[in-house]
Amino acid sequence: MIFMSAELSKRILQGDVRAAASLMSRIENGDAKAKAVLRTLYAHTGRAHVIGVTGAAGTGKSSLIDRMIAEYRRRNKTVGVLAVDPSSLFSGGALLGDRIRMRDHFLDDKVFVRSFATRGGTGGLSTAIREAIYVLDAMAKDVILVETIGVGQDQLEIAALAHLVVVVLAPEMGDEVQAMKAGLAEIADILVVNKADLPGGDATFERLKALFADGDISIIAASALRNEGIQSLLDSIDKHRTRSLGNGSYQRNRLRLYRQEVLSLLRERLIAEWEKRIGGAALDKQIKLIAERRTDPYSAVDELVKKIGL
């Protein structure tokens, strides 16, 4: 086992795509063995720039990412992409769609693209994405793009893993942006009005400019279809990175991420340990008492906590 971890991590550090894909599958399945490999990789992480690309379904996130990959490659940057699939409720074909659009880049060994499925609402997905980011970082990818659909707690948690968040909007959302202002201001560093080739593109762009005139958020008009605005977007991302490194916000953001990560691992570990100590029988007993209205959930928790001496 130790040998396997060492071998796998060695191959990942060399940029081996198969080794990375294999570790990501373990991560996705919640396989505890993945943690052993991640431990050995950790010292080699911390260099990549992690960019969240989020927005409503169909705004053109995957298409934009496709263009961004090409432009980053032109700038001699290596790229990793993690796409969080919308649940099959939205569109069962999303994975295939992403694959087809990003197909050209599959032939480029400096680009790694991987989709992660959303599985029922626990925080498991954001843990998996966080770990997958470490894998790409250890492979020495310069830039890691993480595509998420901008709804739901899971997705917000994932956006919070990024060093910078790009929110993608489309012209048809023009009337909604006023109502979205507070939400956008909270998560976005850069707003992209994609599909600027469509009617209403200019108006939406102007409206956003006016709405965010007083803030630090950059507004970019782009068309993934026509490959326009992509250079401005990358330049704006670079500028943001330089600025946030300069004023210390990048470093603060990282400390916040590490704190969150340690607390979430700590919580996971403590809860598992405490559950074990309390024991299933004691828990079942309290649940039965609650069902019979002989106790209430609050007193039941008091009772259980007392049992482990807290």
Residues that bind ligand GTP (CB under 6 A): 57-63, 86, 91, 94, 97, 149, 194-195, 197-198, 223-225
Residue 60 binding result from ligand GTP, Mg ion, none, given CB thresholds of 5 to 8 Å by partner type: ligand GTP
- Which of 145, 142, 164, 147 lies closest to 237, judged by CA? 164
Q: How far is the CB of 207 from ligand GTP (least distance, A)?
A: 18
Q: How far is the CB of 301 from ligand GTP (least distance, A)?
A: 40
The residue among 12 and 53 lying less far from Mg ion, judged by its C-beta, is: 53
Partner from Mg ion, ligand GTP, none contacting 198, C-beta within 5 to 8 A by type: ligand GTP
| Among Mg ion, ligand GTP, none, residue 81 binds (CB under 5-8 Å by kind) | none
200 binds, among ligand GTP, Mg ion, none (CB under 5 to 8 A by kind): none
- State how far Cα 103 lies from the chain centre: 21
Are the C-beta atoms of 134 and 41 separated by less than 8 Å? yes
User: CB 174 → ligand GTP: shortest distance, Å?
Assistant: 15
Q: List the Cα angle 64/70/76 in 5-degree steps.
A: 135
**Cα gap 169→194, rounded to integer Å:** 6
Q: CA-CA distance, 241 to 47, in Å (whole number)?
A: 13
Beta carbon of residue 285, minimum distance to ligand GTP (angstroms, whole number): 47
Residues contacting 239, CB < 8 A, separation 6+: 218
Closest CB to Mg ion among residues 15, 58 = 58
Least Å distance, CB 147 to Mg ion, is: 6
**Shortest Å, Cβ 98 to Mg ion:** 5
**Using an 8 Å Cβ cutoff, are 290 and 280 in contact?**
no
Residue with Cβ nearer Mg ion (12 or 98): 98
Give me the residue whose beta carbon is nearest to Mg ion. Answer: 62
Element (H, E) at 55: strand 49-55
* CB closer to ligand GTP out of 147 and 157: 147
What's the number of CA atoms in the CB half-sphere (13 Å) around residue 207? 19
Q: Give me the least distance between CB of 88 and ligand GTP, in Å please.
A: 12
Closer CB to ligand GTP, residue 48 or residue 53?
53
DSSP run (H or E) holding 114: strand 111-116
115 touches Mg ion (CB under 5 A): no
CB of 195 to ligand GTP, least distance (A): 4
Q: Quick one: residue 116, left, alpha or beta (phi over 0 = left, psi -120 to 50 = alpha)?
A: beta
49-68 residues in contact with Mg ion (CB under 5 A) are: 61-62
* Token pair for 212: 């965010």
Output the six-digit token pair for 36: 């052993």
- Nearest residue to ligand GTP, scored by beta-carbon proximity: 60
Question: Rounded to 5 degrees, what are φ and ψ at 88?
Answer: -60, -15
Q: Where are the alpha helices (DSSP H) in 14-102?
A: 17-28, 33-41, 61-74, 94-101
- Nearer residue to ligand GTP within complex by CB, 97 or 152: 97
Handedness of CA 151, 242, 78, 20 (dihedral sign): negative
Q: Of 38 and 102, which has the nearer Cβ to ligand GTP?
A: 102
Binding site for Mg ion (CB under 5 A): 61-62
